[in-house]
Amino acid sequence: MPGLGASSLPGSNGDRPLCVATTGIVTDLVAQVAGGECRVHALMGPGVDPHLYRPSPGDVAHLSAAAVVFYNGLHLEGKMAQLLRRLGRHRPVVSLGEHLRRRCPERLIPVGEGEYDPHIWFDVELWSRTLPAVERALVKLIPEQAQALRRRASSTSRRLRQLDRWCREQLARIPPRGRVLVTAHDAFRYFGRAYGIQVVGIQGVSTESEAGIADINRLVRMIVGRRIKAIFVESSVPERHVHAILDGCRAAGHPVRLGGQLYSDALGPPGSGADTYEQMVRHNVRTIVQALS
């Protein structure tokens, strides 16, 4: 598997064109198709939140030297919109989300007036549909390698479809009434829709207000009523909210535990077992199945 973010600085190694991608997830996809034909550089490392990411001067240097830029789009890289637009005047800048919006808008989840949930990689089959956009841009960049690029795009597509089937098989092992993902992320809507898991977000719940307490009580009743075994929270949820939920469930005679860590908008660090897209998906699915079965 091609390494991520391992490219040298712009300007060196000039024989192979430089592709720059935003998130680790986008970078992985581009690297699968590019093979060794391009240098593929990731702007965002493990654990970086793309919603809040602001490009560093080093990133701007890489972007300016890039022959082509790939990004997720649909406002995922919210703070980079202006820069990406400017870069697009001088080189191809490819939005994978925009590709889906043109090709299969019915598969996108609307979140407002003309806006869509950007977390498209959590439906593995949908993510595989972005491959033609990557393939087309790379073939244009190095037409002499068209055959090899097309071959790698189809084998990546095959692998992603296999991964999609594996997700379905694994998640089907969770008893139907337990197929509820209570999570702090707002990232799992595509995942839930693709694999038949109800997603309940606990972001924005506040114990400060009456409404917040009512929300937590409602959540506790739902967890207890459906005998849900685990919830998935991370550091972004204040500890007292997590404790309020755990205490509430225990008091109702249904102790619930914390599920393991899920990766959402960034890959894991090297050696985490989630440092490629495929590994990240497998890690999440295994963690969810283990906690909810």
Taking the least distance from each CB to Zn ion, the nearer of 152 and 185 is 185
Taking the least distance from each CB to Zn ion, the nearer of 21 and 256 is 21
Q: Report which residue's Cβ sits closest to Zn ion.
A: 265
**What's the closest the beta carbon of residue 214 comes to Zn ion, in angstroms?**
26
**What's the closest the beta carbon of residue 208 comes to Zn ion, in angstroms?**
25
**What's the closest the beta carbon of residue 134 comes to Zn ion, in angstroms?**
21
Q: Please enumerate in sequence order all residues whose Cβ is within 8 A of that of 101, keeping only pairs 6 or more positions apart, or say none.
A: 74, 108, 116
Provide the β-strand partners of residue 71: 95
| Cα gap 150→153, rounded to integer Å | 5
| Cα gap 48→236, rounded to integer Å | 14
Six token digits for residue 263: 């990766």
**What's the closest the beta carbon of residue 265 comes to Zn ion, in angstroms?**
4
Taking the least distance from each CB to Zn ion, the nearer of 43 and 174 is 43
**What's the closest the beta carbon of residue 51 comes to Zn ion, in angstroms?**
6
Six token digits for residue 230: 């685990």
Q: How far is CA 119 from CA 1, 37, 106, in A?
A: 24, 28, 15
Taking the least distance from each CB to Zn ion, the nearer of 164 and 265 is 265
Residue pair 139/150 in contact (Cβ under 8 Å)? The answer is yes
Taking the least distance from each CB to Zn ion, the nearer of 195 and 263 is 263
Taking the least distance from each CB to Zn ion, the nearer of 70 and 188 is 188
**With left for phi above 0 and alpha for psi between -120 and 50, is residue 73 left, alpha or beta?**
left
**What's the closest the beta carbon of residue 117 comes to Zn ion, in angstroms?**
9
Which residues bind to Zn ion, rule: CB under 5 A? 187, 265
DSSP per-residue string spanning 192-227: HHHHT-EEEE-TT--SSSHHHHHHHHHHHHHHHHTT
